[in-house]
Amino acid sequence: MNEDYSRQAMPDKGYRELLGTAICVFNSNNAFIIENLLKISDYHDWWNLIDQESGTIEEIMKSKRYRDAFQGNESLFQKWHNLVLNRNRIIHSFQVTSKENSDDIDGQVLFTKVKGSGEQFPITKECLMKFIKDNSDFAIQLDDFRNTLSN
């Protein structure tokens, strides 16, 4: 599929909408973690944290300064780690033509690979929907965590 604003082949609009949604919900959670870190401690400021890579935010969450605040909520670390890894697979994907893996009339879809083994696989609409849902579940858990900080 082509659009007036780009001459490059792209997947169908529904796929691109899910891809954009996936990036937005992840970015929202990244900002939500920063909000929580600022609520826990004034050690960092928003300007510093917003420029950090998501993997660095994960390390900051686990640092001695913040670790005690997350006590009892350590599952947030693993969930965020998994989201970062999955986001990386989306961001570092590559576009292919694969009619069997795409709903697009021209067969455009993103593929990614398993880091280490190099096994390649498509980023399907179902993969994107799962990533969006996982981000939603994480946001709910992070909101519950934030509510414990208010007490």
Question: What are 131-150's pLDDT values in tens digits?
Answer: 999 999 999 999 999 998 86
Report pLDDT for 89.
95
* 88-133 tens-digit pLDDT: 999 999 999 988 888 887 888 999 998 889 899 999 999 999 999 9
Asked whether residue 99 is assigned to any structural domain, the reply reads yes
**Does residue 21 belong to any structural domain of this protein?**
yes
Confidence label for 66 from pLDDT (cuts 50, 70 and 90): confident
Q: Pinpoint the alpha helices (H) of 1-151.
A: 13-40, 46-50, 54-62, 64-67, 75-91, 125-150
Task: Give the pTM.
Answer: 0.90
pLDDT at 7 over 80: no
**43 lies in some domain:** yes
Q: Into how many domains does the chain fold?
A: 1
* Residue 8 confidence (pLDDT) above 80: no
Task: Show the domain range for 115.
Answer: 13-150
Cα separation, 32 vs 9, in Å, equals 34
Would residue 84 count as lying in a domain? yes
In a domain, 85, yes or no: yes
pLDDT attached to residue 73: 87
Residue 79 in domain: yes
Q: Is residue 6 part of a domain?
A: no
Residues 6+ apart with CB under 8 A from 93: 110, 111, 112, 123
Considering the domain boundaries, does residue 5 fall inside one? no
